[in-house]
Amino acid sequence: MINGLDPVIHTPKRLAAMAVLANSTTASFRFLRNYLDISDSDLSKHMSALEAAGYVHSAKDGRGRGATTTFKLTRDGQKAYNAHRDALRALLDGPSPEDLPQD
Amino acid sequence: MENDAREQLRILERAEAAPYISYPPTPRWYAPAIGAWAAAFIGAFTWWRENTPLFAASLAGLILLELVFVTWMQRRHGALPMPGRGRPPAEIGRVWSRYFVGLLVVCALVGLAWWRIGVAAGAATAFVTVTAGLAYYEYCYAQAAAEVRKRLG
């Protein structure tokens, strides 16, 4: 953690995926792939990393060629995303007057 | 560091808006179908006192149909946004606020027609107001989504 920023989410593609998931009930593999404009294997890698961190839950529906994978943000994922978002805002807003050294 | 944070926030803002503005075109039958569903829901109350099993079965069937419809919508959209979850863009938030006010007006009109005239009038009012209201909402939503797309570039 640097300045409250989460290294797992900090990658732009993962951050964007988390932002999409934070604003939808679930997101399909196809929606994320099209929005992020990356290959299937790239998306799989990013989503696996988020899943390994406990931020995302995946579910497979159906079998074979018609199978669809959907992703959902976990409670920990929601917390991590909000914390990362707040940390980014804090970085831009600068330190609060209380944080500054007093003379 | 600050530039990086600024870039990350830009990515974040665009991605947060994506579920609200990237959606397949709404089919023409959507508004009248939901209007018909609302009318059927009110119409089911015809059997409320006359035939309880039929009334319960009608409501259960309609609720099941709604669940199937929402599942289909979710699959079709790919990332369906939901009020109360996430941060909708301000333009969409305004449309949603008006939607809920409109919903209250529709409920009041349906209730009034039902109370003053009867179940059939309530069902007819539900069909007309829900169909017209949804069609207007879809139009406003499309306008708002276009504004968001333009703003975010």
**Domains of chain A: which residue ranges?**
12-93
Please tell me the pTM assigned to this model.
Answer: 0.87
Band (pLDDT 50/70/90 cuts) for residue A66 is confident
Measure in Å the smallest separation between the Cα of B140 and chain A Cα atoms: 20
For residue A5, the number of C-alpha atoms closer than 13 Å in the C-beta half-sphere is 18
* pLDDT exceeds cutoff 60 at A99: no
Class of domain A12-93: mainly alpha
- Would you state the pLDDT for residue B148? 96
Band (pLDDT 50/70/90 cuts) for residue A1 is low
Mean pLDDT along residues B95-124: 95
Domain definitions of chain B by residue range: 27-80+87-152
Band (pLDDT 50/70/90 cuts) for residue B1 is low
The DSSP result for A3-65, as a single string, is: TTB-TTT-SHHHHHHHHHHTTSS-EEHHHHHHHHT--HHHHHHHHHHHHHTTSEEEEEESSGG
Interchain contact, B2 vs A92, CB within 8 Å: yes
| Mean pLDDT score across all residues of chain B | 93
Residues above pLDDT 90, as percent of chain B: 82
* pLDDT exceeds cutoff 90 at B65: yes
The neighbour count for residue A77, using CB atoms within 10 Å, is 23
Mean pLDDT along residues B1-18: 87
The neighbour count for residue B5, using CB atoms within 10 Å, is 18
Q: Which own/partner pairs from B138-141 qualify as long-range (CB within 8 Å, at least 24 positions apart)? A: B138/B26, B138/B30, B138/B31, B140/B95, B140/B98, B141/B92, B141/B95
Nearest to B5 among A16, A32, A88 (CB): A88
Nearest to B79 among A12, A27, A89 (CB): A27
* pLDDT exceeds cutoff 70 at A95: no
CB contacts of A22 in chain B (<8 Å) are 16, 85-87
